[in-house]
Amino acid sequence: MLKDFFPNVIPEDLWEATLETLYMTIISVIGTLILGIILGLLLFLTDRGNLWKNSFINFLTATFVNVFRAIPFIILILLLFPFTDFLIGTIRGWEAALPALIIGAGPFYARLVEIGLKEVDKGVIEAAKSMGAKSHTIIFKVLLPESMPALISGLTVTGIALIGYTAIAGVIGAGGLGSLAYLQGFQRRDFDVILACTILIIIIVFIFQFIGGFTIQSDR
């Protein structure tokens, strides 16, 4: 039955490509989460009127974030080739896509984190201070938990963008569904392979969205 609709699809290849896309997505989402939270916290905390007010560090962080957000992803991959080669030891395969994915999406997520943190009621932070809370208590027990719904929905949006990025990375040799669609589908003109890859990517996106939505709901 599947063979009728997708005559050129090799199930083993499709499965392998799906796994690669999943690996790339999951690991880069984790990396993006960490980088984004660190940068977002820095942006927020060093801003005027906040806990670690420091206009120099704020300027540095903001510049870093703005620059890497401005670079188109496809160019970022090329730009990071030497860095990737040094870090991963190769520029081929799904592992090699990770630095570009994380550095591309991290700054984007950092801005979403910053927005989420800004939404936290100043009064709540003040209440924590009035109880004698230390900075790290305020960060980990007030700021992050209070902005959790925004952090999660931001991560969902970023994660979905990341799935798109993995497909782009695939075209220039990172493996995964993007690679399969390009090499087996586009170059050989086997349209059914492209279709199969598209369906799988859509399924992954939906799963991602579902997890994100579910986490936000169970948070309250």
Residues that bind another protein in the complex, under the rule CB under 8 A: 121, 123-124, 126-134, 137, 141-142, 145-146, 148, 219-220
Q: Which residue has the tokens 């169970």?
A: 218
Nearer Cβ to another protein (10/127)? 127
Shorter beta-carbon distance to another protein: residue 65 or 138: 138
Q: Are 205 and 152 in contact (CB under 8 A)?
A: no
Work out how close the CB of 220 gets to another protein at its nearest, in angstroms, rounded to a whole number: 7
Name the DSSP class of 90. -
What is the nearest approach in angstroms of another protein to the Cβ of residue 42?
21
Q: Shortest Cβ distance from residue 147 to another protein (Å)?
A: 9
For 98-137, b/e burial (b = at least 16 CB within 10 A) is bbbbbbbbbbbbbbbbbebbeebeeeebeebeeeeeeeee
d(Cα 3, Cα 163) in Å, to the nearest integer?
27
Contact 73, 165 (CB under 8 A): yes
Q: How many C-beta neighbours within 10 Å does residue 192 have?
A: 15
User: Among residues 127 and 199, whose Cβ is nearest to another protein?
Assistant: 127
- Whether the Cβ atoms of residue 170 and residue 163 lie closer than 8 Å to each other: no
Instruction: Supply the minimum distance, in Å, between the C-beta of residue 219 and another protein.
Output: 7
Cβ(17)–Cβ(194) under 8 Å? no
- In angstroms, the CA 113 to CA 41 distance is 7
Nearer to another protein, 47 or 95 (CB): 47
Q: Closest separation between CB of residue 85 and another protein, Å?
A: 43
| Dist CA 206 CA 200 (whole Å) | 10
Nearest approach, Cβ of residue 139 and another protein (Å): 13
Decide whether 79 or 133 has the Cβ nearer to another protein. 133
Cβ closest to another protein, residue 78 vs residue 124: 124
